Structure 1
Amino acid sequence: MFSLKYQISNPESWHQEMAKQIPIETSGNSFLLQNSFGSGGGQFVALQPGLWIEQLDLTLKEQLSVEILPKQHNDYFSVTFWLTNAQVKQQLQERELQFKYDNVSIVLVSSTIHTAYNLPINEEIKTFMIWMSKEWMLENVVSTKNAGLRQVFERDAPIYYTESLDYKFKYLLDKTDFTHSEKLPLLINTLQLLNCFFRNLEQHSCANLASLHLHNSDLKKLMIVREYINANPLKEISLEFMSTMAGMSLSKFKRLFKEVFRTTPYKYCLKIKLEIAMELLQTNKYSVSEVGFLIGYSNLSQFSKAFKNYHGLLPSEVKS
C-alpha cells in the first residue's frame, strides 16, 4: 500500500507533494500515474487568482491511503464532487463516512481539518475539485449579509460539510469538462456550482459545519438507511420501517436523521422523488401526469404544487 500525506493548499503544491510520495509523472498542470501504480491522472486549471479547478480520472493497481494534515490557519478550502461508483471510506475523528455517486457526493473541507481516506484498487475514481484561497472565498462567495456563515469561515476551526448531488449539480457538472470547454465557460460553470452549493449551505445551521460528536455506530446506521432510500427512491418507506432498519427508537431516529442530513426523513424522501421528476421531465419522454404517477402522485394538482414548492416552477414549464 502507498501512502500520501499533504496539507490543503493549491493544486500546484498538491501535485508537487504527490510527486515526492507516490509514483506519478507531472507535466505542467497535469499528472499521470506510472504504469506500475495505475492508469489515468488529473489536470488543474487556474481560473482566477485564488480559484482553481481540477479533474481526476484514474484507476489504481495499488491501494492508496491519503491523510490530510491540519494547518494552524484556514487559508485554503476545497470542495470535492465524487463522481464515481467506487466506494471510498473516509475517517474523521471517530466517524467513518462512505462516498460514492449515489451516497455522500460533495465534501467541503478547510485546511485545519485532519482526516484520512483509502482509495480502492481496480475501480475508476472520478472527482471534480474546486480549490479556493480564504481571500478569494470571502470576497466572492460568502456573503456579508450572512454574518453567521461568514464568521464560521473567518475562524480557524476545522470545517467539514457534506452534501448530496441533485439534478442541479449533475447538470452543471455535465457541462464542466476540461476536454470540451474553454476557460470562460469553465469559470461560469464553476461559479454556478459554488452558488448552488453555498446557497444550500446558507439554509443549514452553521453549527453543523463542525459538528463531529455523533457516535460512529449511529452514523453508520443512518448511512445504511439513506443508502436504502437512494436505492429505492420511488418506494413508499414508512418512518417505522426506517427506524427499525436503524435499530433506533422512532424519536431518536428522527432526531439524528435531521441532525446529520439537515432535513426530516419525509422531506428527504420527497426531495429524491422530486429530483427524479425533474430528470424525467427533462428527457421529454414522459408527460407531466405520467411523471407524477411514476413518483407516487395520483392527483396531478398535488404533484404540480409539490413540484413548484421545491423547484420554483410548474412541471408544465419544464416541458415547454
Structure 2
Amino acid sequence: MIFSFTATPDFDFLTYFARYIQATVQNGLLVIPDHLGQGHIRKLDFGSDFKITIHRYLLKEDLIINRKTSGQGNDLITVFFYSNEQALEIAYNDHPQVLFSQRDESAIQVTSNDLSSTIRFPAHQTIHYVVIAIKPPSLAKLLAVSNPNSVLQTITGNGNSFLFFESMAAETKLLLKNLAAVDMNDPLSHFYMQIRVQELLYLVFHKLALRENAPYQTINSADAERLLYVRNEIISDLSLPPVIRELAQVAAMSETKLKQLFKQTFGTTIYNYYQQARMEEAAFLLKQGRHSVAEVGYELGFSNLSHFSRLFEKHYGLNPKRYSSS
C-alpha cells in the first residue's frame, strides 16, 4: 500500500488518507478498517498552524508513505517521533533502503516540509509514531527564546531547508506512551493534550538548543539521502572505525562538507556517533546475557578490554560486568 501526497501547508493527512483507504473520520479519529488491519490515527488541532497526529496500528501489508515537496519552500516544521522495537526504513527518494532506527532505538526527526521523503512501515508489526506540525512563527512564539542558537534560528527562520536527528530519551518515550493512553472522552482531554504536546516540543528543542552554535549549511533531499547512507555505513560494522575519506567518496561529497553536514544533522561528529553506537550495541549484547564481557569487547573491535571497560563506564556509569548483572 503506497500513499503519496504533496506537503503543502494546507494538506490534511487524516482526511486524504481516509479517502485513500475508504474509511471515515469522526471527531478527528480514523479507525483502520478490519480488512487492512487494526488500530487508529488521531489528529488534534491546537490552532490553524499547530497540530498533532498520533498513529497506532498493525497492518496486514506494508505501508509506504511518500511525501513530495510542494516546491513552494519551507513554511511548515514537522517533528517526527518514532518509538518502536522494530527498525524503520526511511529515504529521501522513492526507494527506502536506509534504516532510520535500529532494533529498539527510538528516534526523532525535525525537518522542513520542502524535503521529500519515503518511509516504509512493515506489515504485521505494531506501529507507533507521532507527528507534530507547526509553522515557524508559531514555534518561535512558543519557544520564546531571546537569543536562540544557530539551530533554533534555522528552524524558526523563514524559508530554510533543514533536517535534524535526535535520539529519544526515556522521558520522551514515557510521555508518548501516556499521550496514546489519554481518555479523549474526558471533557478536558484536549486541554491536557495541548500541555503534553508542548512538553514534547520542549524536550526536543531543549536538546537542539544545546547544540554547537555553528554556521548552518543548507541541505537538500540528495544531501539528506547521502547522510543517511553514510550513517548506515558507520553502524553496519561497529568493529571497524569509520574512515572519513572512504565515507566522503560514498557520499560524493568533500570530506569537509560531509563532516559539517553530518555533525549538523546528527549533533555530533562521525567518530563520536560511531563510538556511541558501539556502546549502545555493547549494552544490548550484555543485557542479552549470552556473551561474556570479553566476547562483546572483541566483537566490537576492542583489542584492549581495559579500554573497552573504561569507555563503557564513561557512557553508562557502570563497568560492563556490573551492567550485565544489574
Q: Shorter-chain TM-score category?
A: 0.5 to 0.7
Gaps of 5+ in 1: none
Greater Cα offset, 157-166 or 76-85: 157-166
Query: Pairwise mapping of residues 153-192 of structure 1 onto structure 2 (< 5 A)?
Result: 153-166=155-168, 168=169, 170-177=170-177, 178-181=179-182, 183=189, 186-187=193-194, 189-192=196-199
Deviation at 1:79, TM superposition (A): 0.5
Q: Is the 8 A contact 2:30 2:41 kept in 1?
A: yes
Per the alignment, in what secondary structure is the counterpart of residue 34 of structure 2? coil
Match of 1:79 in 2: 79
Deviation at 1:137, TM superposition (A): 0.2
Match of 1:22 in 2: 21
Greater Cα offset, 131-140 or 257-266: 257-266
Match of 1:115 in 2: 116
Q: Is the 8 A contact 2:52 2:130 kept in 1?
A: yes
**Counterpart of 2:138 in structure 1: which amino acid?**
W
Per the alignment, in what secondary structure is the counterpart of residue 122 of structure 1? coil
Q: Is the 8 A contact 2:66 2:119 kept in 1?
A: yes
TM-score (norm 2): 0.65
Deviation at 1:269, TM superposition (A): 2.8
Q: Is the 8 A contact 2:67 2:116 kept in 1?
A: yes
**Counterpart of 2:14 in structure 1: which amino acid?**
H
Query: Pairwise mapping of residues 80-99 of structure 1 onto structure 2 (< 5 A)?
Result: 80-84=80-84, 85-91=86-92, 98-99=98-99
Change (3 A) 1:10 1:199: farther
TM-score (norm 1): 0.66
Q: Is the 8 A contact 2:161 2:219 kept in 1?
A: yes
Per the alignment, in what secondary structure is the counterpart of residue 176 of structure 1? helix
Deviation at 1:35, TM superposition (A): 3.1
Match of 2:273 in 1: 268
Query: Pairwise mapping of residues 4-153 of structure 1 onto structure 2 (< 5 A)?
Result: 4-9=4-9, 13-46=12-45, 50-58=49-57, 59-61=59-61, 63-70=63-70, 72=72, 74-84=74-84, 85-91=86-92, 98-102=98-102, 105-111=107-113, 113-120=114-121, 122-124=123-125, 125-141=127-143, 143-146=145-148, 148-149=150-151, 151-153=153-155
Query: Pairwise mapping of residues 261-300 of structure 1 onto structure 2 (< 5 A)?
Result: 261-262=262-263, 263-272=268-277, 298=306
Gaps of 5+ in 2: 184-188
Aligned residue pairs: how many? 291
| Partner Cα distance (1:104, 1:97) in 2 | 18
Change (3 A) 1:201 1:142: farther
Greater Cα offset, 25-34 or 67-76: 67-76
| Partner Cα distance (1:132, 1:259) in 2 | 27
| Partner Cα distance (1:257, 1:14) in 2 | 34
Change (3 A) 1:300 1:140: same
